[in-house]
Amino acid sequence: MQKSIITVVNSLKGLLLKTPELTNAFQEKKHTALPTLDIWLKNLEQELKKFNYAQCAEIAGLRSQLIEIKYDPEQNRLHRKKRLFSKGSSVIYPAQSVVQEVIHPLEEKINQARQLIQQVLSIALQAKIIKKPTSAAESLGYIQNIWVLLKNNTQLNAGLQNIISLVGSSDGMRLLAEEIYFD
């Protein structure tokens, strides 16, 4: 089964939105900054691994840089803590950049698919291929029915195939549900 691009983007974006809070913790020299960074990096690594992105190894590498300092026997405790804090603050940007590199092309695909859906819907509404549901019972499975109608229409099938190639059927239907509206 194909992984949902929308789910991947939403999951990783949620973690990226914690970056300002994390950066502020380092700027304010909060004692929770390092443990919070460790948890954040582990969560990033876990999410990337869950979705089978090799970039999880890059995040693990960044974590290893912190671990190296943490267990350096040649440093006294105070010096080690300062180095760890300094390294921790410098790890945030590369970590978020790795995740941005994963998200950016996926967001482009979603936006392209969304634009195609808007075009297909516009044509379908003008040609009166689809109509507004009149009852709650008719609304059940409404998006799936519209998807099948659009897919079976020779004029619109090519557009739907492009959407499927960009984001897959389930994400295509998800975007269709977000984009469809009636006045």
Residue 144 has pLDDT above 90, yes or no: no
Residue that finishes a domain, picked among 52, 79, 103: 103
52 and 82 fall within a common domain: yes
79 and 117 fall within a common domain: no
128 and 59 fall within a common domain: no
Q: Do residues 172 and 5 touch, judged by C-beta distance below 8 A?
A: no
The residue type of 141 is G
9 and 98 fall within a common domain: yes
20 and 88 fall within a common domain: yes
Question: How far from 118 is each of 103, 122, 123, CA to CA, in Å?
Answer: 22, 6, 9
pLDDT for 155-172, tens place per residue? 899 999 999 999 999 999
Please choose, from the candidates 50, 48, 78, 73, the residue with its C-alpha nearest in 3D space to the C-alpha of residue 63: 48
Cα 158 from Cα 178, distance rounded (Å): 21
pLDDT for 11-26, tens place per residue? 999 999 999 999 999 9
CA 66 to chain CA centroid, Å, is: 26
Residue 183 has pLDDT above 60, yes or no: no
154 and 99 fall within a common domain: no
Q: Do residues 1 and 52 touch, judged by C-beta distance below 8 A?
A: no
Q: Where does the pLDDT of residue 136 fall: very low under 50, low under 70, confident under 90, or very high at 90 and above? A: low
- Give SS3 for 14: helix
Residue 91 has pLDDT above 90, yes or no: yes
Domain that holds residue 20: 5-103
99 and 115 fall within a common domain: no
Cα 76 from Cα 82, distance rounded (Å): 10
9 and 99 fall within a common domain: yes
> Residue 115's pLDDT is what?
96
Residue that finishes a domain, picked among 103, 132, 148: 103
The region of weakest confidence among 25-39, 42-56, 123-137 is 123-137
113 and 95 fall within a common domain: no
The residue type of 157 is N
91 and 37 fall within a common domain: yes
Q: 76 or 118: whose pLDDT is higher? A: 118
Average pLDDT over residues 103-109: 97
45 and 91 fall within a common domain: yes
The total number of structural domains that make up the chain: 2
